[in-house]
Amino acid sequence: MQNVLAVFLGGGAGAVLRYLTGVLALRYLSVNLPAATFAVNIAGCFILGVLFAVFFDRPEVNTSLKLALTAGFCGGLTTFSTFSFEMFEMLKNAQYLQVSVYLILSLAAGLAAVWIGVSCAKFV
């Protein structure tokens, strides 16, 4: 039950941060791609990369803490469903170039962010 509570609390914090990122992006950015979703997904990839490297081979770290930060916070922060829906909307509106750029940029940047996160954590 403790692990479920940890994921719940971490997920809530991540979801609130995702929401606030969306509010700020709508207020301050005017780009032709979904900047808020892109930002939280890439940030979540970086954070998960760091956490993976920090927690790897460290069984002494509390399992609930690991779950709160990985499945909870990173899971609540990132959003595959919104990413997919935004691409669907672009396809529906015949924005083929935008959906292609968004898809390729999201995948490439997400993989790079995980790699950079893992690399950065090696110095911790």
Model confidence pLDDT, tens digit, residues 106-123: 999 999 999 999 999 987
Kindly report the pTM of this predicted structure.
Answer: 0.90
Which DSSP string corresponds to 5-60? Answer: HHHHHHHHHHHHHHHHHHHHHHHH---SS-HHHHHHHHHHHHHHHHHHHHHTT-TT
Is residue 123 classed as helix, strand or coil in its secondary structure? Answer: coil
pLDDT at 32: 63
Give residue 35's pLDDT.
Answer: 87
How far is residue 42's CA from residue 108's CA, in Å, rounded to a whole number? 10
Q: What is the pLDDT of residue 123?
A: 77
Collect the ranges in the chain with pLDDT lower than 50: none
**Domain span including residue 65:** 2-121
Query: What is the chain's mean pLDDT, rounded?
Result: 93
Per-residue pLDDT at 25: 85
**Of the candidates 53, 61, 59, which has an alpha carbon nearest to the alpha carbon of residue 123?**
53
Count the domains in the chain.
1
